Amino acid sequence: MYIYGIQLTMKYTLSILCLFFLGVVANSQEGTPTPFSVEVDGYYGTILEHNPDIAHLITQHPQGLFLSWNKKTYGLREAERRYGYPDWGFTLAYQDFQYDVLGESYSVYGHFNWYFLNRHLVFRIGQGIGYNTNPYDPETNFLNNAFGSHLASSTFLKANFTKENIWEGLGVHAGFTIIHYSNANFRAPNNSTNTWAFNAGISYLFDNGNIPEYVSGENDPPSTDYFERFKLNLVYRFGWNESDVVGSGQFPFKTYSAFVDKRLSYKSTLQVGVDYFDSEFLQEFIRYRAIAFPEDGLTGEEDYIRVGVFLGHELRFHRTAFVSQLGYYAKWDFEFENRVYNRLGLKRYFWKDRIFAVVTVKSHWAKAEGVEFGIGVRLY
C-alpha cells in the first residue's frame, strides 16, 4: 500500500507540475491577441541502440503522429525579441512501436520553437508526460526492460524545414525527430528508448490575413544592464526512485543545495554550489549487495550519504529558465555509478525573482537517477 500510494502521488505530482510549467509559459504573453497555428504530421523511424540491454527490443520500425498547437510571438515581451520571436505551444503524440512487447505510447508536451535561416528552419524542443500501454511485468511482459511503469517523462527534439502560409494559411514542413521515453528510475527496469524518425506534415495559420508587425528590439537596453552581484540560493529537492534491482522497492530521496549565482546578462547566469544527497534507495541497495554478493566485502552499514560540488548555468527566458549543472561527489563512500553527475531541468521564478520552483532530472551521464521536484529562495 505504501508503494502504491507513492506511485499515485508521483503520477499526480508529475501531472500537476507539468501543467504548472505549461501554464506559466502560456501566461507569459501580453494581452494583445496574436495568431496561432495547428500542425499535424506523421513519422516513421527506428529505435536507437543506446544500450545493448535493449537490443532484443529493436525488431520493427516505430511510427506515429504529432498534433501541435503553436502560439506565435511578435516581440510584445523583451524575451521574445531577444530570442528571435519563438513560438510556444502544446503537442499531443502517439507512437506505435510495432512490437507488442513495447506496446504503444500516448504523450502530451509543452514545447518551444526556435527559428533560423529566415524562419525556414525551426528547432523544436518539447517536454512532457507519456503513458505506455504495456510496461514491464514479471509474469506477463518480462521482456520489456525499457519501461518499468505506465507513466514516463518524455522529451522530443525536432529539426524541420518549414514553409508557412503558402496559400490561405496552409503550410508544409518536413525533417527529423528524436523521441525519448524514460521514467528516470522511478521504477525498475528503466533502460528507456530513443526513437530517430523522419516526419512530414501540414500546418494551418489561423487569422492569416491579420498578421501583426514584429516589434523591433533596437530600443531594448543592452544585455549587460542585467548584470547583478553574487546572490546566495538555498534549494530543497525531493522525489522517489528505485535502484536497478527489479522489485527492490521505491524510496524517497531528499537533496539540500546551497549555491552562489551571478547574472551576467539578460540570458545567462552562472552558478557554483554544494549538494547534500540523502537517498534511501542507495541505503537499501548497499544492504542488498552485502547479502547477495558477500565477495564485495560490504557490511551493509556503509554510509550512503553523498556530498557533491557543482558548476551550473541558467538560460533565462523572462521568468522561466533552463538549468544545466555538472557536479562531482566530494563525499562518495560507496562507489555507486561514478563520481560525476549532471542535472538538467526547468525553473520558474516568482515574487521579484526571490522564490523559485524547479523540476530537474539528475543523472550520471546518460543514466538517470531520479526526477527532482524543488523549491528555493534567492537571497539578496
Are 236 and 196 in a shared domain? no
Are 198 and 277 in a shared domain? no
Are 69 and 189 in a shared domain? yes
Give the global pTM.
0.85
Judge whether 280 lies within some domain: yes
pLDDT for 31 equals 55
Judge whether 105 lies within some domain: yes
User: Could you list the residue range(s) of the whole structural domain that residue 13 is in?
Assistant: 2-23+33-205
Judge whether 216 lies within some domain: no
Residue 247 buriedness (CB in 10 A; 0-12 / 13-18 / 19+): exposed
Judge whether 213 lies within some domain: no
pLDDT for 197 equals 98
Judge whether 214 lies within some domain: no
Of 179, 205, 231, the position where a domain reaches its end is 205
DSSP string, 192-240: -EEEEEEEEEEEEETTTT-PPPPPP-TTSPPGGGG----EEEEEEEEEE
Are 55 and 115 in a shared domain? yes
Are 195 and 256 in a shared domain? no
pLDDT for 259 equals 98
Q: Where are the alpha helices (DSSP H) in 217-341?
A: 280-292
pLDDT for 210 equals 84
Of 205, 240, 255, the position where a domain reaches its end is 205
Are 228 and 120 in a shared domain? no
Query: Among 42, 366, 55, 61, which Cα is nearest to 196's?
Result: 61
Q: How many domains does the chain have?
A: 2
pLDDT for 5 equals 38
Judge whether 286 lies within some domain: yes
Judge whether 70 lies within some domain: yes
Split the chain (380 residues) into runs of 10 and give each run's mean pLDDT.
38 45 47 84 95 92 97 92 94 97 96 95 95 95 94 94 93 97 88 96 91 88 88 96 90 97 95 98 95 91 96 94 97 94 95 93 90 94
Are 111 and 68 in a shared domain? yes
Are 187 and 228 in a shared domain? no
Question: What CATH number did the domain enclosing 6 receive?
Answer: 2.40.160.20
CA–CA distance, 274 with 328 (Å, rounded to integer): 10
Are 250 and 167 in a shared domain? no
Are 273 and 374 in a shared domain? yes
Judge whether 211 lies within some domain: no
pLDDT for 32 equals 63
CA–CA distance, 207 with 205 (Å, rounded to integer): 7
Are 150 and 62 in a shared domain? yes
pLDDT for 114 equals 96
Are 228 and 365 in a shared domain? yes
